[in-house]
């Protein structure tokens, strides 16, 4: 990308942008919630629409001059509805957490209960972790895996706890869970206790859009929450989708604006519209399927080295490995070491982790970004081999230098693509 004006006007910011461009170009991105957007998405996201206030919704704004903001937001909404097969889409949430919190505010009263996945078993902070402020407003109860080695959720216990606590909302979704949930079970339990059933698909939205993963709406989920920048390959942002209930969609629209947010970030919504257009392309299906093949190829390498994987493998885009238990290196040290040799991933708690969040037992890594780069199973497996090699030889500087070089060469062979197709 060209930063000529920044370069001329603000060398300090330019240095940071240039540094990040180089970091992204020369390293392998394995954080499963990250990706590379196309140049078209970047252009729309950096467009003149950043100048415009557009409080309200298409056709119903508080300020004038909305001809083009309306056009762009309608495009984003219509494309989102088609991609996820639903009747309503709100594309204004600035990010995933605001999308989730605005939805809670729309559907629950203070003191109401939400049932979500325990953070250490794969859930997300916004699903009710005690460090978040929303836990002072709502009551959160949790479900967990029954078997950490297979990833099976304890649906019987979930039903028992739901019956006893009558949650207003049941949330299916995760940020560190490598398996597909049993959506039919969630809907069954939700209907039985009279809860609204929501899926937080932030991590797997691209897999669903690309038909490589099941769509919770097909099982009767009421609402889906998502970010747009992970597997979906759009700009950083959030979105709320409602399957069919006009009543729920209206409540959500009213809460997103004026209840919770101010002016929508229209340039960001333009970026979302472009990304949703890309996700409708037949090639996106190929991309989504390849993400899963690549993650599986990486998981197989770890398994071949007898490294314990939480849930025993993966059905999606991410892998969670107990590197402390298997290799004696903590998640934090593995993250630092692998970053140094050009492979970026994150330390992660594993289920019932005996260690602390800032220095846990696990690492979480995935394939969305490398797949965008064009890696196939062969390259993905090689990256996994290099990860293991580095962790097993963490003090061998010569070996580590060789790994860094191999990663740089691999990245040169697979430059970050500018265009989507």
| CA–CA distances in Å: residue 75 to residues 48, 212, 269, 342 | 17, 24, 9, 38
- In this structure, are residues 416 and 63 in contact, taking their beta carbons and an 8 Å threshold? no
- For residue 281, give both structure tokens: 């392309």
Give min distance, CB of 335 to ligand DSN, in A.
Answer: 13
In the set 24, 55, 112, 406, the catalytic residue is: 55
Choosing from 28, 29, 30, 33, the residue that interacts with ligand DSN (CB under 6 A) is 33
DSSP at 152: E
Tell me, by CB under 6 A, how many residues bind ligand DSN: 4
Q: Is 231 in the site for ligand DSN (CB under 6 A)?
A: no
Nearest residue to ligand DSN by CB is: 33
Give min distance, CB of 130 to ligand DSN, in A.
Answer: 17
In the set 200, 322, 379, 389, the catalytic residue is: 200
Picking from 292, 280, 276, the residue whose alpha carbon sits closest to that of residue 371 is 292
Query: Using CB atoms within 10 A of its CB, is residue 199 exposed (0-12), middle (13-18) or buried (19+)?
Result: buried
Considering the complex, state which of residue 296 and residue 364 has its C-beta at the smaller distance from ligand DSN: 364
Tell me how far apart the alpha carbons of residues 327 and 392 are, in angstroms, rounded to a whole number.
Answer: 7
Considering the complex, state which of residue 95 and residue 141 has its C-beta at the smaller distance from ligand DSN: 95
- For residue 112, give both structure tokens: 């109401």
What is the longest distance spanned by two Cα atoms in the chain?
Answer: 64
> What is the separation, in whole angstroms, between the first and last Cα of the chain?
18
- Tell me, yes or no, if 399 is annotated catalytic: no
Q: Which of residues 356-375 bind ligand DSN (CB under 6 A)?
A: none
Q: Is 311 in the site for ligand DSN (CB under 6 A)?
A: no
- Tell me, yes or no, if 230 is annotated catalytic: yes
Q: Is 96 in the site for ligand DSN (CB under 6 A)?
A: yes
Give min distance, CB of 381 to ligand DSN, in A.
Answer: 23
Q: Is 103 in the site for ligand DSN (CB under 6 A)?
A: no
Choosing from 175, 226, 290, 294, the residue that interacts with ligand DSN (CB under 6 A) is 175
Considering the complex, state which of residue 124 and residue 168 has its C-beta at the smaller distance from ligand DSN: 124
Give min distance, CB of 203 to ligand DSN, in A.
Answer: 6
187-192 CB contacts, 8 Å cutoff, 24+ apart: 187/219, 187/220, 187/221, 189/155, 189/158, 189/159, 189/162, 191/220, 192/159, 192/162, 192/163
Tell me how far apart the alpha carbons of residues 211 and 222 are, in angstroms, rounded to a whole number.
Answer: 19
Considering the complex, state which of residue 33 and residue 38 has its C-beta at the smaller distance from ligand DSN: 33
Q: Is 35 in the site for ligand DSN (CB under 6 A)?
A: no
- Tell me, yes or no, if 55 is annotated catalytic: yes
Q: How many CA atoms lie within 13 A of 290 on its CB side?
A: 18
Give min distance, CB of 32 to ligand DSN, in A.
Answer: 7
In the set 142, 179, 236, 373, the catalytic residue is: 236
- Tell me, yes or no, if 200 is annotated catalytic: yes
Q: How many degrees, rounded to 5, is the angle at CA 173 between CA 171 and CA 175? A: 140
- Tell me, yes or no, if 236 is annotated catalytic: yes
The catalytic residue positions are 53, 55, 200, 227, 230, 236
Contacting positions for ligand DSN (CB under 6 A): 33, 96, 124, 175
């Amino acid at each position: 990308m060209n930063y000529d004006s920044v370069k001329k006007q603000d060398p300090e910011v330019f240095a940071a942008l240039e540094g990040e461009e180089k970091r992204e170009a020369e390293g392998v991105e394995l954080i499963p919630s990250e990706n590379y957007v196309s140049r078209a998405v970047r252009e729309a996201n950096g467009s003149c629409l950043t100048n415009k206030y557009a409080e309200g919704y298409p056709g119903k704004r508080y300020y004038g001059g909305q001809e083009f903001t309306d056009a762009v937001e309608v495009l984003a909404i219509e494309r989102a509805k088609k991609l996820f097969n639903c009747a309503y889409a709100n594309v204004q949430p600035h990010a995933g957490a605001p999308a989730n919190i605005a939805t809670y505010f729309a559907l629950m009263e203070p003191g109401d209960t939400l049932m979500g996945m325990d953070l250490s078993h794969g859930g997300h902070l916004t699903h009710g972790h005690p460090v978040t402020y929303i836990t002072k407003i709502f009551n959160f109860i949790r479900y967990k895996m029954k078997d950490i080695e297979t990833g099976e959720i304890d649906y019987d216990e979930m039903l028992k706890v739901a019956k006893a606590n009558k949650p207003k909302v049941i949330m299916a979704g995760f940020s560190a869970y490598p398996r597909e949930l049993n959506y039919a079970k969630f809907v069954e339990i939700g209907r039985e206790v009279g809860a609204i059933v929501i899926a937080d698909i932030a991590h797997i939205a691209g897999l669903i859009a690309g038909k490589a993963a099941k769509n919770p709406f097909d099982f009767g989920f009421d609402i889906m929450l998502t970010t747009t920048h992970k597997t979906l390959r759009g700009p950083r942002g959030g979105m709320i989708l409602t399957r069919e209930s006009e009543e729920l969609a209206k409540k959500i629209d009213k809460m997103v604006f004026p209840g919770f947010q101010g002016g929508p970030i229209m340039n960001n919504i333009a970026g979302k519209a472009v990304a949703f257009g890309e996700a409708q392309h037949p090639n996106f299906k190929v991309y989504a399927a390849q993400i899963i093949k690549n993650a599986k190829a990486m998981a197989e390498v770890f398994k071949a080295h007898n490294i314990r994987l939480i849930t025993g493998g993966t059905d999606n885009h991410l892998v969670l490995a107990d590197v402390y238990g298997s290799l004696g290196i903590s998640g934090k040290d593995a993250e630092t070491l692998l970053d140094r040799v050009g492979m970026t991933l994150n330390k992660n708690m594993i289920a019932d982790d005996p260690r602390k969040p800032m220095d846990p037992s696990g690492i979480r890594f995935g394939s969305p970004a490398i797949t965008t780069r064009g890696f196939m199973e062969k390259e993905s497996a090689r990256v996994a081999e290099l990860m293991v090699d580095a962790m097993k030889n963490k003090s061998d500087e010569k070996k580590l230098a060789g790994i860094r070089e191999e990663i740089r060469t691999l990245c040169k062979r697979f430059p970050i693509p500018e265009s989507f197709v």
